[in-house]
Amino acid sequence: MEPPDPRNLVPPGRAAHFSAFVAGVLAVAVLVSAHALVSLATTLPELPAAFWTMAALAVACDARPFLPLGRRQSSSAVFPSTCFTFAILLGWGLGPAVAVQAVAVLVSGVRMGHAPWRTAFNAGQYACALAGAYAVTRLGPGDVFAGGPLRWTDIAAIGGAGVAWFLVNYGLVTAAVRLRFGERWWPNAWHGLPFELLSTGSLLLLAPVLVTAARASAALVPLVLVPLFAVYRMARLTVEQHQLASLDPLTGLPNRKALLAEVNEQVHRHAERGARGEPDARLALLLIDLDRFKNVNDALGHAVGDRLLVEVSGRLTDVVEPPDLVARLGGDEFAIVMTGLADVAEARALADQVVRALAEPVALDGLPLDVGGSIGIALYPEHGEDFATLMRHADVAMYDAKHRSDTVAVYTAESDHNSAERLGLLADLRRVLEAGTAGRAEGGDPPAHAPAVRGGDGAVLPMDERAGLRWWSWRRRPRPVAQDDELIARIVTGADPMLRRAAWPAAPPAAPTAEQWARPVPADGQPGSARADGQSGSARADGQPGSTPDGSRAGPVRNDGQAGSGRADGLAGGGGRPELLPPGVERGAEPAGDVGEIMMYYQPQIAIATGEMVGVEALLRWRHPRRGMVDPEELIRVAEQSAVMRLLTRRVVDDVVEQLAKWSAAGLRLRAAVNVSVRDLHTGEIADQIADRLARYGVAPERLQLEITEGALMADPRRVLTTITRLHRIGVGIALDDFGTGYSSLQHLRRLPLSEVKVDRSFVLGMTDDPDDAAIVRSTIELAKALGLRVVAEGVEDERTWRMLHAAGCDVAQGWFYARPMPAEELVAWLARYRPLRPLGGHDGADADRRPSR
């Protein structure tokens, strides 16, 4: 049995108000037209042939009105009888017009299957509109076509009558829709107004021409059918073009444009349901991406791929029942709009049905093709209140399902790696890097006789003329801006880390001379580290708490994995507490346009056997004016997804090589390790950049070492190996970082020109408590030693781990047991206080010249 037309039904709970409105309209229609209809009985025989011709055409044309398919405006159908009845009104009065319009409405109602109440309402609606138009004509000089030439008052009366007809008719229909469905009045009325003005307005304006022709001869009246047919045909073609623009030409499903319109309309309806407290006020957008579709296109061709898409669209339409909508977005992406949901479980249930439907192989040309799909679900209003937000969140959920090798996933904020917050962070990162690049480009060479070089950390380092180093100081920091207002000056000081350090009461320690490098630490000094938060406390080698200059006790070194020597990924890493701000400067009191400053922290790497510092690992830090210290993992995760990673790597390499030159000028020769990402290794640009910077600053290639992860190797082994080989030929050392956490480790150790292996901190942190971790560390050390590689352990945070690594034969260690990451000038001060520790016990402070063993 065919279901009833929803246009003939009234939603429960609205029948009383809507019925009262319909009855009121009918009552008004009877009142305004009763007298005219009664008098019609006497005037009907006197009406001319032109009237009867118009009446016959009005009834005949309304037997097949113009119905734009898919329209949801207040009055979607266009009835040609409007032209004829309005012309009858102008020529012969209200009674004949209302009578003809009633017959035409009855015929069209029977033809279209309208309910009796609806046919009656339409007749009353038109009667009220005609009565309003007739009242306007009576305000003029009289019958506008009584004879003689038309005056401007006649024309004004005709125009006013048309406006009155349109306002009354459109207003009644819009009010009926509002009362019947509860939809918002103004958006629906405004949305349908252009179409109504074009269609109905054209018919009303044609009526005066029709009356004028009828006055001349009744034979001219049928000629109006030609322009009516032309208007009808043009309107239909226009609607068909709009419909085609909203359909996918391959599958015949609605496309993205139609999906946008559907979601926007359903969002409005569900917002009203939610405002009324109805339980089914949720809307779900399901985004489907086919798996392995590209393999079908590549292997069998696009023609077979198109047939596969048609088959998939058929399966989706079989699963999804109206009023839910299936759309094809393009390629192998489809979308489903589910309406009237109470919770997300209903959307999941439909997604599971879709998965089962797609799981069945598709037989094309005798070849069964396996088609699967990943589905992401976004729910209104929890996950978004507009099409763009719902679409993006469904896309995030769909890719989350793919990454988890799952079939269905509901959006969660934790899976959204491209949120507006992260995009803002990426924009700020680009700004701070471009600002640093511009600052370098504006710099110039210092005078040749300059006796000292002021480093980026503010320390003045003497130039070693015997080294023959040609110096290019092409990086200048902007000078502090003089401020008259004390508050503004404090804000500017708080925004610039260099100015903050200068604002501390105590002067920073001076750079030691060459003799001071080897000077023993006083007898009362305990070996320790300068804290990354700016306090010069000590973390004692015995694992006991050290002391800070103000006499308070420093807490013990933590071993919970929250902080330490392990980097985040790529260029950043290590733990570091935020610096303390100078007195009177509050955190976050920075200018709104400031994006902070990128700076390098350095964590010492210590030879376990001798206790000497043999190198440092360069770690990236970014103090954001509003976010504080940006998490290194978040920073790298954001940068690696865009071309900003290239700018970041360039900045890090420039800063580290420049710092190596400054240390060399001060008589300190260290090896610095820099982490690089997979994007950096896909091209040879990084090798050219490093070679250029080493030559520019006069730094020996062996003093720079690049750390790469196994994940970077697996991304594209061929191109990565080419870049690494070029760097090796230059003389730059290559270290395999996070060893043991990736794939094909032994193959990489055999093929790559490595000089060092770094044991991942996840194993080092647990080796004192977990025998398995300890066994993994010992095995890694033995394997690397057999291959002639240096072994570095990161994440060394207590004495027991330090001694176990020495017993296992590890070469170098880094971690909070020795020192936290710190800025360059703090590293100089820390090294001046540091006394080497040897695993056998005592402190060796007698040797005046301690150089790295490697």
- Residues marked active site are found at 794
- Element at 706 (helix H, strand E): strand 704-709
Distance CA 375, CA 406 (A): 9
Q: What are residue 730's phi and psi, to 5 degrees?
A: -65, -30
Q: Residue 19 carries which side chain, given as an amino acid letter?
A: S
Q: What is the dihedral of CA 746, 748, 751, 755, to 10 degrees?
A: -100
Task: Please choose, from the candidates 577, 588, 593, the residue with its C-alpha nearest in 3D space to the C-alpha of residue 626.
Answer: 588
Q: Distance between CA 216 and CA 387 in Å, rounded?
A: 57
- Give the burial string for 406-431 (b: 16+ CB within 10 Å, else e): ebbbbbeeebbeeeeeeeebbebbbe
Whether the bond into 508 is cis, omega within 30 of 0:
no
Q: In this structure, what is the dihedral angle of CA atoms 260, 262, 264, 268, given to the nearest 10 degrees?
A: 180
Q: Which helix (H) or strand (E) holds 758?
A: strand 756-759
- Separation between Cα atoms, residue 102 and residue 124, nearest integer Å: 8
Between strands 372-380 and 408-410, the pairing is: parallel
- The DSSP bridge pattern shows strands 567-569 and 704-709 to be unpaired
Contact 556, 545 (CB under 8 A): yes
Preceding amide of 323 cis, omega within 30: yes
Beta bridge partners, 460, equal: 454
108: tokens are 């069209």
Is there a contact between 354 and 316 (Cβ–Cβ < 8 Å)?
Answer: yes
CB atoms within 10 A of CB 771: 9
Residue 46, judged by CB atoms within 10 A of its CB (0-12, 13-18, 19+), counts as: exposed
Give the amino acid at 44: L
